[in-house]
Chain A
Amino acid sequence: EAQVTQNPRYLITVTGKKLTVTCSQNMNHEYMSWYRQDPGLGLRQIYYSMNVEVTDKGDVPEGYKVSRKEKRNFPLILESPSPNQTSLYFCASSSVGRGVEKLFFGSGTQLSVL
């Protein structure tokens, strides 16, 4: 089954404790990205990757890091989480090329930073 898998689904942590949210897709998609969803603000793009070892900032990259060492994986790293990073996070992927590429989403990670 084609899917984007995120882990964990729920995460509670404390300020300053490094954490990683994993994302994996099994569709051989070139494009992967991370979003955060906050009430009233919709989804905002954090980082994206066009292929292995190619990443770039989205609209809200501060406080986040990513890496793309393999095509299927795109982890999101918070080196020193702060309470304003409490949010619902989504990973997404798509193929690229002909204008018909749908964006597929993971189930989300609800992060609370205390």
Chain B
Amino acid sequence: KQEVTQIPAALSVPEGENLVLNCSFTDSAIYNLQWFRQDPGKGLTSLLLIQSSQREQTSGRLNASLDKSSGRSTLYIAASQPGDSATYLCAVRMADNFNKFYFGSGTKLNVKP
């Protein structure tokens, strides 16, 4: 069974820093990988989706990379802002059954002004 791990569980950085969030998965047979943002009391908002054949995706200050063979993805946030404070989750969609999604437990990010 797929296991998705996100380390660290929490991260606190001063405003303006560049930072990297990590996501690892045990089964490399994935269909795609998606990064989400979750604000307290709210649902998940999709940030970036990387297809299994891609290496990275960029949106504004966000860049997500995927190394499928090693079971790793990173989310890079440039020039962090207090508004980036949230919990970030990664999720993989499986290639052998794309009805199946597996989520990490998330990294709670706090960007201090």
Name A residues whose Cβ lies closer than 8 Å to a Cβ of B. 4, 31, 33, 35, 40-45, 48, 50, 56, 58-59, 90, 92, 96, 99-108
Contacts and interface: CB of A to CB of B under 8 A. Distances in A.
Given A100-B49, A104-B46, A107-B43, A42 B4 contact: yes
Given A96-B98, A100-B51, A102-B34, A42 B46 contact: no
Q: List the 8 closest pairs (A to B, CB-CB), nearest first.
A: A105-B43, A43-B103, A42-B105, A105-B44, A99-B51, A42-B103, A107-B43, A102-B46
Interface of B: 1, 4, 31-32, 34, 36, 41-46, 49, 51-53, 89, 91, 93, 98-106
A99 B32 CA distance: 6
B89 A107 contact: no
Contacts of A92: 44
A107 B99 contact: no
Nearest to B97: A56
A45 B32 contact: no
B46 A50 contact: no
A35 B59 CA distance: 27
A4 to B, nearest CB: 8
Given A90-B44, A103-B34, A106-B43, A45 B104 contact: no
Contacts, number: 60
Contacts of B105: 40-42
A108 B43 contact: yes
Contacts of A45: 100-102
Nearest to B48: A102
A102 B49 contact: yes
Contacts of B98: 96
Contacts of A4: 43
Contacts of B93: 103
Contacts of A56: 99
Contacts of A42: 4, 89, 103-106
A57 B49 CA distance: 25
22 contacts: A33-B99, A35-B103, A41-B105, A42-B4, A42-B89, A42-B104, A42-B105, A42-B106, A43-B91, A43-B103, A45-B101, A48-B100, A96-B98, A100-B32, A101-B32, A102-B49, A103-B34, A103-B101, A104-B46, A105-B36, A107-B43, A108-B43
